[in-house]
Structures are given as structure tokens and as C-alpha cells.
């Protein structure tokens, strides 16, 4: 007896309409963040920009917070893209993730300057959506992977290494947001700082490659501006 085949599921017209309205709202939110320099968003302005009723964003997302989360779903795309990289060395994986992050930022500078301004403003409610547990878990996993491989000295706490890397990145991103670092210097400046932090935490056998990374980034920066 032949097995019955299951026809591929297709969206109903109603579901397709909802999906399209969600896409319109997310795109409108991203455009408004770029144009206004404000990641907080106005639901009335958002609805008008998306060409939908004021009730539609609430009906489809439930809250402004959920819309911000949806706008920042490129975090999911980032993790998916990173997962297919053929990088085995645990320290190289940290730098690969850093390079990919910087590429996202400089690829859409108006949007990400606004997002990072929200990160750096403790009074901005969007901060909690950007610095979310999923993002923290991703980076924590990379540092812990390096520690398990022996790249980090036994007496150095990986969690504190992660905090130092995050503090370094926030400092570099602040300078970029306020225009003190040119886009072409953002990546080498971040790499230089990461290499210095990891070199200080490294087990002896891993210090050579990290010292080489420090010097490589130093050469790319070409001295102080």
C-alpha cells in the first residue's frame, strides 16, 4: 500500500494578509528609528507610517516592546549566519563574531547608531530589549568555550572576562555613536581591545597568537588619530 503524501501547507489569504501587515509594521518601525533617531517609537506614528489602523500593531504584536523585539530580530539572523562559519579555534570564533557584529553596525549606521544610543542610555526602556538574555548567552557561550579549550588561564574567571569584553565594546561603540571613531576604524579598534583583554586572560600557550592579533590591529589603526 502506498503511503499517503501530505500536501505542503500554504498560508490562507487571511494569514498571508497578517504576515504582510506584520512585515509592513516592522519595516516602518525600522525606518522611523533611522529617521527620528529615537528607538522608543510612537505607536500612532508607526501605524500611520505602516498604513494600518492604530489598533493593528497592538492586535498583531500586543505591545510596543514586542515590536522593538521584532525589529531587532537580526540577532537571530546573526546567530544563524555565525553557525555556518567554518571556524574551529575557540579564540578565532570570538573574533569572527566580533567582526560579524561590526559588519552589521557599519552596514546600517543610522539605525545602529540609534540602537546603540539607546543601549548607552540607562533611562531608555529599549536598553533591556537590546541587551537581552539570548545575546548574553551567545557571547557567554563563546568565552566559556575558549575557557574549556584551555585558552583562558585556570585562575581567571571567564564571566569576568566576558564583562570586560562587553565594557570594551560599549566604550568603542560610544565613541562611534558620538562620531569620534570613523567607520573604517571601528573594527580594528574593537579587535585591538578584545585582543588586549584576551591576552591578559590567556594561558601561556595561547598568548603568542593573541599578541600577534594585538600587533595586527595596531598596524591597522596606524597610530593615534
Q: Distance between CA atoms of 26 and 70, rounded to whole angstroms?
A: 7
- CA separation (Å) from 65 to 72, 134, 181, 191, 210? 11, 16, 31, 32, 40
Quick check: 120 and 173 in contact, CB under 8 A?
A: yes
pTM of the model: 0.75
**Domain 74-221: CATH class, spelled out:** mainly alpha
**74-221 matches 13-71 in CATH topology:** no
Residue 45 grid cell: 506614528
The ranges assigned to domains in the chain are 13-71, 74-221
> Is domain 13-71 given the CATH code 1.10.10.60 in the classification?
yes
**pLDDT tens for each residue of the chain, 225 residues long:** 444 444 445 568 888 888 889 889 988 988 888 888 777 778 899 999 999 999 999 999 888 777 877 777 655 677 778 878 788 899 999 999 999 889 888 888 888 888 777 777 776 566 666 666 677 788 999 999 999 999 999 999 999 999 999 999 989 988 998 889 999 999 999 999 999 999 999 999 999 999 999 999 999 998 655
CA quadruple 69, 75, 79, 81: dihedral sign: positive
Amino acid at each position: 500500500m502506498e503511503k499517503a503524501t501530505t500536501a505542503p501547507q500554504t498560508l490562507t489569504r487571511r494569514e498571508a494578509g497578517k504576515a504582510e501587515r506584520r512585515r509592513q509594521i516592522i519595516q516602518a518601525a525600522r525606518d522611523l528609528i533611522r529617521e527620528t533617531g529615537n528607538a522608543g517609537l510612537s505607536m500612532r506614528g508607526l501605524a500611520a507610517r505602516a498604513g494600518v489602523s492604530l489598533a493593528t500593531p497592538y492586535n498583531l504584536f500586543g505591545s510596543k516592546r514586542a515590536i522593538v523585539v521584532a525589529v531587532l530580530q537580526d540577532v537571530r539572523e546573526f546567530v544563524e549566519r555565525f553557525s555556518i562559519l567554518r571556524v574551529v579555534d575557540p579564540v578565532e570564533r570570538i573574533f569572527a563574531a566580533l567582526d560579524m557584529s561590526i559588519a552589521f553596525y557599519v552596514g546600517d549606521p543610522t539605525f545602529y547608531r540609534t540602537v546603540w544610543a539607546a543601549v548607552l542610555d540607562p533611562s531608555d526602556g529599549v536598553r533591556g530589549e537590546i541587551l537581552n538574555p539570548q545575546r548574553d548567552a551567545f557571547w557567554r557561550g563563546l568565552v566559556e568555550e575558549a575557557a574549556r579549550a584551555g585558552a583562558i588561564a585556570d585562575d581567571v574567571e571567564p564571566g569576568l572576562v566576558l564583562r570586560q569584553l562587553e565594557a570594551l565594546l560599549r566604550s568603542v561603540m560610544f565613541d562611534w555613536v558620538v562620531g569620534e571613531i570613523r567607520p573604517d576604524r571601528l573594527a580594528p579598534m574593537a579587535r585591538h581591545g578584545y585582543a588586549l583583554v584576551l591576552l591578559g586572560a590567556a594561558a601561556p600557550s595561547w598568548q603568542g597568537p593573541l599578541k600577534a592579533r594585538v600587533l595586527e590591529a595596531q598596524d591597522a589603526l596606524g597610530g593615534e588619530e
